[in-house]
Structure formats: structure tokens, C-alpha cells
Amino acid sequence: MSDKRKIAEAVITRLSIYNRALGEIGKEGLEIISSDELGNRIGYSAAQIRKDLSCFGEFGEVGKGYFVQDLRDVISHILGVDRKWNVALAGAGHLGSALLAYPGFKQWGFNIVAVFDNDLAKIGKKWESIVIQDISELAKTVKEQDIRIGAIAVPPQVSQEIVDMFTSCGIRAILNFATASITVPEGVKLRNVDLATELECLSYFLTNEAEVRSEVLGKIKNSSGEGG
Amino acid sequence: MSDKRKIAEAVITRLSIYNRALGEIGKEGLEIISSDELGNRIGYSAAQIRKDLSCFGEFGEVGKGYFVQDLRDVISHILGVDRKWNVALAGAGHLGSALLAYPGFKQWGFNIVAVFDNDLAKIGKKWESIVIQDISELAKTVKEQDIRIGAIAVPPQVSQEIVDMFTSCGIRAILNFATASITVPEGVKLRNVDLATELECLSYFLTNEAEVRSEVLGKIKNSSGEGG
DNA sequence: GTATGTGAAGTAATTCACAGCT
DNA sequence: AGCTGTGAATTACTTCACATAC
């Protein structure tokens, strides 16, 4: 297929997951894999995987499956992760410092090349070889360092301000860790990592679904069954 | 409505967002709000909000709107966040330590009461008033401390092991920060916080959608329009 | 007049199922 | 025989629009 029509965000999310799984599978030495096998490993249906891939082209060998390395290269290219991206981080608190120290980012090709804060005690300090800058230097640094992605790890009260600063200096992709409802202009992609919501979903499940199940389990004693 | 039929996870996610917004609105002193106003603030449609709420009951005043505090209490109860939850954290690396130090969790009612690691250099050390334990003590501690939620911040290679340990000692709700495809038994709720996927979605957007748009913007020069 | 709650309508996402290729 | 790619069918989700209540 591979027309240029709107691809659902859920498809992209899954592509990323397929890609990671393919990496693991490749390390195991497997050269070819069917949509069925891949699906079993990561908990998606074979049909789902084939449909998702069909948005972008035909990458499989009929009767055989997908060449692991080839498919990985294709998906990496689709996702745009066959290159490096420079990232600016706003907020040098607990979360910010953990993100900076976390080796995953660089490993995946996302380099945090600048960190900003408004705390005078922090500005000028060196962290993981990066000097924390005053937020007022944002626009200049974004231009100089070709930064395309902004990460936000500031208190909720100031998160919208940071978003506005990011977008007004040309950043079109934002990863937000602040627990606040922020808005971005048309043409800017925002992804929220919302720990409060994640925990609250778990809380809902424990309160409304798991308990019911455990009552049932209690009644049928201890048959170790997960059947549902 | 409020029947006991299956509620979509997306609904729960939004309830959490409505709840946070209601908190902010309450602080501003507003006592009553319509679904329309609430929707405008957080970027959802009024119909969506009303439909979501209708899964659980009728909480509004026809012709007026919703009493902010009342609705907040109702949603908090639905989500099960009108109580405290004890959380076990596996992994005392960079990310784990940031999570532990992060004040949000406790503030939202999720107390990290135990931390586990397999690094002998870390075990026994005190962190934020919690002594890091060997992972072998997990089952005992989970029981003693009435821990219901497990958070995973370990390297991907061992994440499935931790999941299995958590589930086999009765934990039914897991927040996973490890970038790995893990599976849980039926009856256990897993939420993934997947930074690699989040970043890759942004990368996809920049590669496939934002660039196209900026070409268009380039052609029409600088009309500042966001028109979609 | 105003805003809820909700069937009905309309979209979107997923799964089915099979023709067609190797 | 085995597995992809994809229309068709199904299921899930969202929006519409209005009767109803204040």
C-alpha cells in the first residue's frame, strides 16, 4: 500500500515496539521471522503487525516471513531513528538529572546536548559534561546546536511557559514529564509521560477490577487458573 | 448509566486528567464548571467528558454544570485515589533513585515503601529513609508492608524476572520503566512508561510530518497561520 | 435560556479470512 | 504446505444532536 495517507499514532507506537523486538531477535541470531512468531513474542496479533507494516510497503517474503535485519532497517528508517537527534532538557531537578544521567537516550540516538534551569545556584554548574544554562539562552543554543526535540522536567506551574519558549524558537517535538495540561500550537507534536495518570490507572484497576477477580478466585479456592 | 460493563482504559486515563484539572480549577476558586469549559481547558470535547462520566453515573446539574469539588471527590473515588497505596520499587539505579526522590508519588498517595536491588554495594544503604533490600526479600516485604503496586526500573535483561517475582507474590499492578517487551499473567495490569517509544514517535513526526509542513510553510512564506 | 445525559450516527481501529505468491 | 497482503466484517471509540430537566 504505502500511500501518503494519515497514519494513526498507535501504529507508530507499535512500530517502535516491533523494532525493539526485532533488535532482540536479531541478537539471538534469528534471520527470518513470521508475523505470527513476532506477534507471540510481544503480545500483538499477526494481522495487526501485517496491517501496520502495510501502511508503508511490502516488506515480507510470502511463504517465509520477514528478514529480521531488513525489516529492522526499514522500520528504523520510517521512524527516522537511523540518524541522531539533539535534545534540549528544561529542568535540572531530580527527574531532569536522572534523565541526563540515563544512558538510554544517547544509546537510542537522542543526545541531550543542553540543559536549562532558572535556579541561579545550578546555572553554570557542569553535569555530565554539560553546563547548565539560563533559560534565557534557549533560543540561541537551540539554533547553534541544531536542537529539534525539547524535554520538559520542570514544575507544573511553569511547564506551559517552557512549551511556549520551545515552540517559539522552532522546536516542533516535545516530550513532557510535567503533570500539567499543556497545549501546543498546530504543527507541534507533544507526547506526555504522565506518571500520575499511570499510577491512577493502576489504582483504578486494583480498586474496580482486580478485587472483583480476587473475590472470584477466593470462591473457586486456589485453582491457579488465569482463564478468562 | 453506570452499569458494570467493561470500561475502556482510555476513559480511565481521561478521568485522571479531568481530576487533575478539577484540582487546579478548585484552587482558582471556581465552584461549578460545565463540560464545555472543562473541555476547553484540557483539550477534550464536552461530549467526550459527559460520555466518560456517564459510564459511572450522573454527576452534573442539568442547566448548570458540575460542582467542582463534588466531581473531584467522585472521580477520586472511582480511581481509588481516595486512599494510600504502597509501592515497591525494583532497581536502584539512576532512574530508580530519581523516582524515589521524586516527591510527586507520595503527594499523589503512592508511597514507595521498599526498594530492591541485586547490587551488593547498594544493599543495606539507606536512601530517603528506606534501606535498599536484596531482591530475595521481596515476597516477605510485600506481605509485611501490604504492597500492592510494583515499579520496575531495572535493566531490560532482567525485567521479566522482576515481573515474575512481583506477580508470584501477589502484586497485580505493575508500572514498568524498562524498555523491554514483558508479559504478565491474566489478571495483572501492566502499564509501560516507554521513553524509547515516546522519543521514536517524536522522531517519526519530525521525519515524516513536520518536515512536510515546514516545506509548505516555506512556500507560503510567513503567514503565521496554523490552519489545518 | 442553559447544560446534562444518552441513543443514534459516524469514524476509527482491529480482526477475519482468503486470494495469491513462493 | 506456509505466510504475506489486504478487502470485508467486526468491534471499539467519538461526536452529533436533541429530549429532558432546571
**Cα torsion angle, A38, A44, A45, A47, sign:** negative
Angle in degrees, 0-180, between the axes of helices A9-27 and A68-79, rounded to the nearest 10 = 140
Residues A70 and A130 placed together within one structural domain of the fold? no
Residues A75 and A168 placed together within one structural domain of the fold? no
- Residue B210 has a pLDDT of 81
A 159-198 → B contacts, CB under 8 A: 172-175, 179-181, 183, 185-187, 189, 191, 193-198
- Residue A217 has a pLDDT of 43
For residue B62, what is the DSSP state? T
* Residue B47: nearest nucleotide (C-alpha to C1'): D15
Residues A56 and A150 placed together within one structural domain of the fold? no
Residues B135 and B47 placed together within one structural domain of the fold? no
User: Residue B143: which residues within 8 A CB-CB, separation 6 or more?
Assistant: B169, B170
Residues A166 and A121 placed together within one structural domain of the fold? yes
Residue A156 has pLDDT above 70, yes or no: yes
CATH of the domain at B44: 1.10.10.10
Residue A42 has pLDDT above 60, yes or no: yes
Q: Which of B3, B19, B190, B197 to mutate to test the interface with A (most CBs of A within 10 A)?
A: B197
- Residue A2 has a pLDDT of 60
Work out the end-to-end distance of chain A between its first and last CA atoms, rounded to an integer number of angstroms: 36
- B224, with CB counted inside 10 A (0-12, 13-18, 19+), is exposed
**Confidence tier at A52 by pLDDT (50, 70, 90):** very high
- Residue A138 has a pLDDT of 95
Of A104, A180, A210, the CB nearest to B196: A104
Residues A39 and A120 placed together within one structural domain of the fold? no
Name which of A43, A54, A15 is nearest B203 in CA terms. Answer: A15
| Digit-coded pLDDT (tens) for A88-111 | 999 999 889 989 998 889 999 999
- Interchain contact, B199 vs A110, CB within 8 Å: yes
Q: Considering only alpha carbons, which residue of chain A is nearest residue B171?
A: A206
**Is B44 domain-assigned?**
yes
A172 vs chain B: nearest CA distance in angstroms? 7
**Is A133 domain-assigned?**
yes
Tell me the mean pLDDT in the region A51-69: 98
| Digit-coded pLDDT (tens) for A9-34 | 999 999 999 999 999 999 999 999 99
* Domain count across chain A: 2
Q: Check CB contact of A218 with chain B, cutoff 8 Å.
A: no
Residue A205 has pLDDT above 80, yes or no: yes
Residues B125 and B141 placed together within one structural domain of the fold? yes
The verdict on pTM exceeding 0.75 is yes
Percent of the residues in chain A that have a pLDDT greater than 70, as a whole number: 90
- Residue B180 has a pLDDT of 81
In strand C, which positions have an atom below 7 A from any protein CB?
A: 1-7, 12-17, 20-22
**Is A169 domain-assigned?**
yes
Buried b (16+ CB within 10 A) or exposed e, A167-190: bebebbbbbbbbbbbbebeebbbb
**Structural domain harbouring B26:** 9-79
* Successive 10-residue mean pLDDT values, chain B, 228 residues: 79 98 96 98 97 98 98 98 98 91 93 96 93 96 98 95 97 94 92 97 95 47 30
How is residue A96 written as a grid cell? 531532569
**Confidence tier at A228 by pLDDT (50, 70, 90):** very low
